[in-house]
Structure 1
C-alpha cells in the first residue's frame, strides 16, 4: 500500500470501523465475507493489528458503499509535496487536486534548463499551495467572545451551548459563574473532551506576588486621595475586584458582613485588621502569602466523579466557582481555566471548536490578550455589544485598531453579536415615522441598519451582525450564526487554494507559447517600472510609543502603577504590546497605500485585453506582494515588541522614578507619561526607532524583490 509507512493502524482501523458502522453491516457479518475471524477484524478496527492493502481493499469491496469507495480512492494516493490529510478530512479531493498541480510544478521547476524567473514563479506557486493546504488541514477553530464587563458574554455562551443547570426554583443558571460583571478571575476556555472536568493553568509565583503587592497597596493605602486616581478619587484600584476577591479567599481574608443585635449588617474587613498588625508593605505581603499555603495548592486538573452526589453540570458549576473565587484549597490563582465537557459546543461536523470567554473590558480595550485574536485566521473574534449603544465604543475602537494595524480579514474573522435585554428591541422606533416596532425582529432589523451606518466610516458596514437575547431567543439561532461565520472562514480557505491551483494550471498550460511569453515580458516591464518607482518607503509622521501614551491617559491611575511595578508588562497594560502595535501601525501608514495601488494596478492590467494572457502572472504578483507585506507587518511588530521590551527592562531608573510619583498628589498619570515621553525621546531610543525604520525599508525592498523575481529580466 502506497501509504503504509505514514498511515497509522489506529487511524486506518478507526476509519474502517466508522465506514462499516455507517454501512449498517455488523462486524461478525463482515468477518464472514472477508474470510477473517471476528477477533482479527476487531483488532484491525481497534488499531492493534496492521492491515495490508489487499485486506483493506477486500473489506471495502464487501462494504460496497460510496463512502467505502471514497476511502479506497484515498488510500491509493501517494502524497509527495503536500502533507497527507487525515482519512476523515472532508476536503480530500480538493487537496489531492492541489497535490497533483504541485507535483507538476515541482517536476518542471527541477528541470536544469528552467529559466530563473520561471523557476521563481513555480516555487512561489508551490509555496502558495502549501500555505493554502496548511490553512485547510487545520480544523481546530476558536470562537473568542470579547466585550465589556457585565455585557453578558458568559451567560450567552452558556445559554447557546446548553451549559446550564437547574436551580432549586426550577430556573436555569449558567455553569460559568455570572453576576453583575467582574466575576471571572481569568480567561476561560471551553472545549470538548473525554468527560466533565477543569484544567487550570496557574499563575507563576512572581506573578502571584505582584498581585498580592497590588492587594497590599489597596488595603494599606485605603481610600484614594482626591484626584490621584481621577475625579474625586472615584477610580478603581489597580488590582481587579475579581482577583482581589480570589486572593482574599485564598488567605482567609474575605470581607464579612454579619448582622448585629439590631438586625443591621456591619462590615468587617479581616485584611484591614491584619494591616494593623503588619503595617509595612513587606510584612503584610509576607503574611498574606504565608496564609495562602501555596505549597499545598499544586493541583492542575479535576474531573467529575459520580461519588460527588451531584449531576455533572452542577458539579462543574460548583467546582468552577470554587476555583474562580480562590475557595478551593488545592488550586492556586489561575491564569487560565479550561472547562471540558463531553458534548460538542457547536454542532458542526469535521471541526473542533473551542470557545474563549475573554476577561471583560474595563476601560482598556486595547489589550494584548484581546487583540491577538484578530490576526489568527482560525479564530472568530465575536465582539459582544449591549443593544442600546451597539456597536459599543469598545467594539469600534478594537475594529479601528485592527484596521490601522493592517488586518485584512475582518470580513471573515470578526463578527458583532448584540446582546439585547428583554424589552430593549421592542422599545425601538422607526426614525422616519416614530412608530414603535411591532416585534423584536423588527427592532433587530432597525438596530442593524443603525450599526451598518456607524461602521461605514471604517469600511465595515457589511460586517456580520447577529442579535441574541439569551433570555428569550432560541439558542439554535446563535449557534447557526456562529456556524455560518466558521463556514465562511473555511470557504475562504478553499477559495484561496482553488485560485492558486487554477492560476498554476494556467501557467503550466501556456508557459511555452511564444505569444504568451511576449505578453508576459510586456506586463513584466510595467511591473518592473512600478517597483522601481515605489522602491522608497514613504516618510510618515508618528512614533512607536503613540498607542502606549494614549492608553496611559485612558487607563486607571492604579492600572498604570501596577504596570510600572511589573516593568511595563501587565495584562491590563502591556508596554511591549502597544509599542509593537505602534511599530506595525507606522509600517501600515507608510505602505498600505502603495500595496493597495499595486493591487489596483494588477487588476486594471488583468482587465485589459492586451494583457489577457498575463492574468495569472498579475494575480500571482498581487498575492506575492500581499503575503510579503503581511509578513513585513508581523516582523515589524515583533521587532518593536522585542527590542523596546529589552531596552525597558534594562533601565530600572525609569521604573523607579515612575514608582516614586505615586502618592504625590493629583496628576499621577500625567507625570508618568512625561517620564515615559522623555525616555522615548532619548537618543538611544531614537536610535532604536531608526533601526525599526531601517527594518521596514529592508523588508519592503525584499517584498518588491519577491515580486520582480517572478518577472522575465529586462533586456
Structure 2
C-alpha cells in the first residue's frame, strides 16, 4: 500500500466522523499515538502502519476505511487520480479500467481500421468526460440587473451575515454591500479559505488609468463647460466608480453649513478649476492616489480586533469596494475567503460569483464566459413583478442564437426576488388575489414558464426567495443541486461511452459487427463528400453592432467605449463582432447538422446496421462536440481578426469627438463605425477564411477520420485540434 497526498486528511476525517481520539485509533492499531498524530499532520509513514490504522478505523466502525485502503492500492493509468471523496469516483474507476482495455486493444494491429478509428474517438471523448468529473471545483454565478436584490439574496441564502446581535435591521446584516443598485464596484467571489480573509485582483495599470481618465474628463467638462448636450445626454462614470476614485484621491464631496445654508462642496471640481488643462488635472489626481503604494492584495482576520469574523469581512470588503484602504489597489475582482465555506453542500469545492450588475448592455463578455463555462451553474436573478426580467431574456436569446446547443440539466435556473406583498398581489384566472405567498409563487411560476416556452426555452427551474420571510434552506439546496445535476449528466455520458467501447471490444470478433461498422463508415464518407461545404454567409458579423449602439440605454456607456477604442467592460464592440460571427455560423450550420441527424437516424433504422447502433450514437455525440468547438472558434476568429485593426483605427477619435455636439450622439457613432466596416472589407474576408478553415478542421476532419482510412490524424489533445491559425495573423 502506497500513501498519497490525500492520506492525512482522509484518515483525520474518518476518525472525526467516528468521534474518537487519536489514542483510541492507536490502541486499536497497536501503535504509539504519536504515529497517528504524525500521519494526520502529513508526515510519511510506512504502508504497513497506514494499513494498520485503516484496519483499526474499520474495526471501530468506519464505513469508508476499507474503501480507502482499496483506493490506495489502486494504480491509475489513464485518468488523473480523483479525490477519494469525489461523488463520481466509482465512475472514474470504471473509465480508467475501460481506457486500459482500450490501450491494449489498440496495441493489437489486426483489428480493421474502421473499428480502430471509432475506438480511438470513443477514447478521446471518454478522456474528456473523465477530466470533467475528476475535478471537484465548480462555480455558481448569479446574474441580474442592478438593484434587483442579487447581493442581498446571496448573503441570506448562504449565511453571509453578521450576527443579529450586532445589527438591528436584518437587511444591514449582509456581508456583501447592498443598496438601491450600483453598489459593488466589481465581480465578487465567495470561496473556502484557510481563514477569514479578503483578497483582490487589481485592475491593470492601463485600465486603472483609463478609469481615472474618465473621471477626470467628466469632472473637467463639468467645470469648464455644460456637460449636458441638447438631448440630455450626460457624460458620467458609475456612482460606485466615482465614489471609489474620490476616496482614493481624497476628493470626497462634503456638506458645508458654515454659511447657514446647506451646500455641497466638491474638492474634485475645485482642484480642476485650479489647473490649466485636463492633463494637469489628471496628473494631480493620479499623484493624490499614491498608486505605487497600493501593493497589498490580501487582508486576513485578526482576533485582536475583537470583532466577529463576519463583521470584519463586511467592513474590509466595504472599505475595499469604496477605495478606502490606502495600500489596496482598485479591484478587478474581490475574493471573500471563509473557512469551511460550502462544507454543508457536500464535497464539491464551491465558489459563489456575484457578477457585476447589468446596467445597460446584457450580453457582456464576462457574463457570456460564465454561460459557456461547463463548470459554472448560472442563476438568473430578477425582480418578482417583471420576472424573468430583461437581462435574463436578452441572455437566453443570445444563447439560443449563438451557442451550439440548449441548456444542460442544472446549467441555469431563475430566481425571482419578491418584496413583501408582491406575491399575494398575484391574481388567478377569475381575478382573485393569492391567499398566500406560496399560491402567489405558483401563479407567477406559471406565467414565467409560459413566457419562456413561448421564447423556445423549456425545463428551466424557477425559484422564489423573499429574504425577509422565506427560509433559505430549501432554495440554497436547490441552487447547489444544479451542480449535482450537471455532474450526473456528465456521469451518464461517461457510462454511455464506457458501454459503447466495451460493446465494440467484446463483440469485435463477430463478423456482423465488423461489417456493420465498415458499412456505417462507408455511408458516412459518402454523406461527407456530398455535404462537405458550409453554406454561404447569411449576415455580416458586425451587423448587430450598429443596432446595439443605437439602442444602448445610456449614452455615457457608449461614450466610455469610444474612449477605449471600443473595448469597454460594459460595451465591447470586438466581443459583439465575435458573437455576430458565431451567430451567423450557427445559422449556416444548423441545416447541415439537421441533415447529419436525419442521415444518422436513417442508419439507425436500417436493420442491417443494428449491430453498429452504439457506434452511430457516438458519431452523433462527436458531431455535437465538434459543433460547439466550431462555434467557439468562429467567435474567437471574429474577435481576433478585428481586434487590432479596431484598436488602431482613427475612427474612434471621430466617435469620441462626437460627444457634446448635440442630440444624436449614438446615431453618429454608429454611422462612423458602419462606414469604417464598409470601407475595411478585407477583414470580413479574413473572418470568412477563418470560418471555412475551422469548419474543415473541427467538423469535417474528425468525422472524415471515422469515415476514411486515409484521413490524416489531426494534432492536438485527443487527436483533434481546436486551434485555427487566424488568417489575419498568418498573413503578417
Structure 1 CA distance for aligned equivalents of residues 271 and 513 of structure 2: 84
Structure 2 CA distance for aligned equivalents of residues 608 and 71 of structure 1: 48
2:609 pairs with 1:611? yes
Deviations 1:645-689 (CA, angstroms, capped at 9, x unpaired): 1222233x222222222222222222221221122122xx42322
Partner of 2:24: 29
Deviations 1:412-452 (CA, angstroms, capped at 9, x unpaired): 3111111111111100001x211111111111111111111
2:41 pairs with 1:42? no
Partner of 1:559: 557
- From 582, 585, 590, give the equivalent of 1:584: 582
Contact 1:625–1:704, Cα closer than 8 Å, also in 2: no
Partner of 2:217: 217
Summarize the alignment of residues 595-674 of structure 1 with structure 2, pairs less than 5 Å apart: 595-603=593-601, 605-651=603-649, 653-674=650-671
Structure 2 CA distance for aligned equivalents of residues 331 and 18 of structure 1: 38
- From 449, 454, 468, give the equivalent of 1:452: 449
Structure 2 CA distance for aligned equivalents of residues 203 and 647 of structure 1: 24
Partner of 2:256, secondary structure, is coil
2:323 pairs with 1:306? no
How far is the alpha carbon of 1:225 from its aligned partner? 9.4
Structure 1 CA distance for aligned equivalents of residues 708 and 52 of structure 2: 53
Structure 2 CA distance for aligned equivalents of residues 537 and 112 of structure 1: 36
Contact 2:132–2:490, Cα closer than 8 Å, also in 1: yes
Structure 1 CA distance for aligned equivalents of residues 647 and 707 of structure 2: 46
- Compared CA separation, residues 601 and 386, structure 1 to 2 (3 A): farther
2:69 pairs with 1:95? no
- Compared CA separation, residues 117 and 523, structure 1 to 2 (3 A): closer
Contact 1:545–1:582, Cα closer than 8 Å, also in 2: yes
Summarize the alignment of residues 421-460 of structure 1 with structure 2, pairs less than 5 Å apart: 421-430=419-428, 432-460=429-457
2:706 pairs with 1:710? yes
Summarize the alignment of residues 345-364 of structure 1 with structure 2, pairs less than 5 Å apart: 345=342, 347-364=344-361
Partner of 1:83: 80
Partner of 1:16: 11
Structure 1 CA distance for aligned equivalents of residues 482 and 435 of structure 2: 29
How far is the alpha carbon of 1:568 from its aligned partner? 1.9
Partner of 1:396: 393
Partner of 1:55: 49
Contact 1:129–1:501, Cα closer than 8 Å, also in 2: yes
Structure 2 CA distance for aligned equivalents of residues 484 and 17 of structure 1: 27
Partner of 1:205: 205
Deviations 1:542-598 (CA, angstroms, capped at 9, x unpaired): 111123323322333222222222222211111221122112112111112322342
Partner of 1:183, secondary structure, is coil
- Compared CA separation, residues 100 and 256, structure 1 to 2 (3 A): same
Partner of 2:507: 510
Contact 2:82–2:135, Cα closer than 8 Å, also in 1: no
Contact 1:182–1:360, Cα closer than 8 Å, also in 2: yes
Partner of 1:695: 690
Partner of 2:706, secondary structure, is coil
Q: Which of 354-363 and 314-323 deviates more?
A: 314-323
TM-score (norm. length: structure 1): 0.93
Contact 1:106–1:126, Cα closer than 8 Å, also in 2: no
Contact 1:584–1:637, Cα closer than 8 Å, also in 2: yes
Partner of 1:28, secondary structure, is helix
How far is the alpha carbon of 1:345 from its aligned partner? 4.2
How far is the alpha carbon of 1:455 from its aligned partner? 1.1
Contact 2:140–2:376, Cα closer than 8 Å, also in 1: yes
Q: Which of 160-169 and 375-384 deviates more?
A: 160-169
Structure 2 CA distance for aligned equivalents of residues 16 and 358 of structure 1: 38
How far is the alpha carbon of 1:332 from its aligned partner? 2.1
Structure 2 CA distance for aligned equivalents of residues 309 and 508 of structure 1: 66
How far is the alpha carbon of 1:279 from its aligned partner? 4.8
Contact 1:363–1:554, Cα closer than 8 Å, also in 2: no
How far is the alpha carbon of 1:474 from its aligned partner? 0.6
Partner of 2:344, secondary structure, is coil
- Compared CA separation, residues 13 and 55, structure 1 to 2 (3 A): same
- Compared CA separation, residues 170 and 582, structure 1 to 2 (3 A): closer
Count of residues in Structure 1 that have an aligned counterpart in Structure 2: 701
Deviations 1:601-650 (CA, angstroms, capped at 9, x unpaired): 42453255443211111111111111112111121112212221122223
Q: Which of 615-624 and 277-286 deviates more?
A: 277-286
How far is the alpha carbon of 1:600 from its aligned partner? 4.4
How far is the alpha carbon of 1:26 from its aligned partner? 3.5
Contact 2:221–2:227, Cα closer than 8 Å, also in 1: no
